[in-house]
Amino acid sequence: MNNGFVRVAAAIPNLRVADCAFNIAQISELVYKGEKEKVQVICFPELSITAYTCADLFLQQKLLIDAEKALYDLQMLTFSTTAVIIVGIPLYVQNQIFNTAVVIQSGHILGVVPKINLPNHNEFYEKRWFTSGANVDTKSILLSGEQVPFGADLIFTDCNFSFGIELCEDLWVPIPPSTQLTLHGADIIFNLSASNELIGKHIYLRQLIEQQSARCLAGYVYASAGAGESTTDLVFAGNGLIAENGKMLSNAERFSFEPQLIVNDIDIDRLQADRIRNTNFCNDKSPQVYRIIKLEEVNFTSFDLKRTFDKHPFVPPISNRDDSCHEIFSIQVGGLAKRWKHTQVENVVIGISGGLDSTLALLVCVKTADKLGYDRKRIIGITMPGFGTTNRTYNNAISLMKSLGITMMEISIKDACVQHFKDINHDPDQQNVTYENTQARERTQILMDIANKHNGLVIGTGDLSEMALGWATYNGDHISMYGVNSGVPKTLVRYLVDWAAQDLDPLSKEILQDVLNTPVSPELLPADAEGNNAQKTEDIVGPYELHDFFLYYFVRYGFSPSKILFLAKNAFAVAYTDKVIEKWLKIFIQRFFAQQFKRSCMPDGPKVGSINLSPRGDWRMPSDAIKFNTNF
């Protein structure tokens, strides 16, 4: 495999009904094309050697003999190819005819899988010609001069991945064969199909494939008969679909008269990672024994992926923006509302810096107060200017609190910090970690004490990305009484604030837009001579969009650093050089391991997505674990 990916193809050839020699020539051309594209498994439609719409011709000896001869010709034509080929053919076995899929590699037949569920509705009455493979006693058949495995109990595997096969109608029954195939180890399902077109059927078919791939935590490759079929009563559009765990990766152009090869790469590592985490996955595994058929490894180690990866995996697509953002806010608001009511405190207390995180947390507080019917004055916002506070963030903090109508307080921390420096005998000109953390802890002390004084609850503003990197002062901004942003990574914080701005009054919207344009910073070091921020977080720890990408694949799927690097290079090829990505990935791994002790005692907060770092549920890691090797 190439970094855990297997390249697969759904092939839609141009066929002629009952013209086996012509059909084999068309199939061979697509096999050669697939070989050039480094495809590892190619799936053709149901009964592709004869075409599906032969009807009573399937009962003619001539067609059955021609089909077997054509199959042998295909073996000879593809003897020098390495890809696994799956084609459909009617086979005469012990006085019965079966609708089958034949698996070929390097000219050899590896196995034959018969269709189990035969349609019996008007347009498809396959029981007129074929026998179900459900209860066949025959375990092998003589085909092309050799004994080959035969049955619906075959799983094909090499050292990297496994696949199973079902045929058309098999997918549409309540418990498809693919369910048990995947429970017994198949990573990918190939479906040879011949499904006609009807109004609304295509949408349902896509949903069916997406749902089955999601339910089975599998890849799903679907190849269906195309325009070469008979149109006596039905029309076939040539559906080629490739899905992975609920997501459609590729699809053919329907109703095309040109042969098509739909190619994409399925991430086996990702599928297996989900299966590992789902300990219920094999609960319904049947006692049936499946036969394992060995493949020759088809390993093209150097090919560019056909698929791309979203640079911002935490950020919902624009098409779902309103629904997704409303849902996220609802989760945050729901969590805070419960805590506010349960503790029976009068107020919530929040530090407002004029930055992104505190802005989002404040918006959550405002929405919560509105939801509960509380006066917004029960939200106490405190801005605490220090040695590094710039006019820009200070003015934004003041203006935002005023525009949202909350209780506003301003408490400078400068004198308190200077006194503390004297108490601990620290030179304030030595602007090191002591200098910075003194300010962060002073702010937290003020928030906690104001909360005590006003019967309040301190709301944390730190986000998921900061906790992943440990970019927080221990017992400073690391601590709160409820962290509403604890499940929201930085890239999503920005997205949510931008979305929320659209529904606010013009003044608040203008303030939020300026907050979005302000560089992320803790502002713990003095500004430069022009009064500008001298401490930009992303210059120190790296771009948050990279760290969020690393975090997603490290925690969600448990990928190795080398696999994450491979994906990041694919996603950020234009934005960053390989060396820059490697640099920040090493920093991410180093900080993630070194800063676990902060996450081990992080405060409560709501989970909003598939990833969270709460030590009480989602992420349990020893604080003294040795970091992974990052010698790429």
Which residues are part of the catalytic machinery?
Answer: 46, 115, 168
> How far is 212 from 233, CA to CA, in rounded Å?
29
Instruction: Please tell me whether residue 356 adopts helix, strand or coil conformation.
Output: helix
Q: What share of the chain is helix, strand, coil (3-state, %, to 5)?
A: 40, 20, 45
Per-residue DSSP letter, 576: S
> DSSP string spanning 245-307?
TTEEEEEPPTT-SS-EEEEEEEEHHHHHHHHHH-TTTTTT--SPPPEEEE-----------SS
> How far is 86 from 189, CA to CA, in rounded Å?
12
> How far is 24 from 33, CA to CA, in rounded Å?
14
Kind of pairing, strands 162-167 and 146-149?
unpaired
Quick one: residue 393, left, alpha or beta (phi over 0 = left, psi -120 to 50 = alpha)?
alpha
Neighbours of 626 (CB within 10 A): 7
Q: What is the b/e burial string over 352-363, where b = at least 16 CB atoms within 10 angstroms of the residue's CB? A: bbbbbbbbbbbb
Nearest to 514 by CA among 379, 371, 398, 375: 398
> DSSP string spanning 448-464?
HHHHHHTTEEEEE---H
Residue 515 sits at φ, ψ, to 5 deg, of: -60, -45
Nearest to 171 by CA among 133, 222, 219: 222
Please, what is the angle between helix 490-501 and helix 544-551, to 10°?
120
Neighbours of 119 (CB within 10 A): 16
Q: How many Cα atoms are found within 13 Å in the side-chain-facing hemisphere of 473?
A: 19
> DSSP string spanning 388-424?
T--HHHHHHHHHHHHHHT-EEEE---HHHHHHHHHHT
> How far is 502 from 332, CA to CA, in rounded Å?
19
Kind of pairing, strands 291-294 and 260-267?
unpaired
> How far is 108 from 84, CA to CA, in rounded Å?
10
> The tokens 């491979």 sit on which residue?
566
- Where would I find the H helices in 424-504? 433-453, 464-469, 490-501
> How far is 466 from 29, CA to CA, in rounded Å?
53
Cβ atoms of 102 and 70 within 8 Å: the answer is no
Our measurement of the distance from residue 505's CA atom to the centroid of its chain's CA atoms, rounded to an integer in Å, reads: 36
Cβ atoms of 298 and 158 within 8 Å: the answer is yes
Nearest to 366 by CA among 386, 344, 381, 382: 381
Provide the edge-to-edge strand list for the sheet that holds 240-244.
247-251, 240-244, 219-224, 188-193, 162-167, 154-157, 291-294
- Where would I find the H helices in 490-616? 490-501, 506-516, 537-540, 544-551, 561-571, 578-594, 596-599
Question: Which residues are 97's β-sheet partners?
Answer: 92
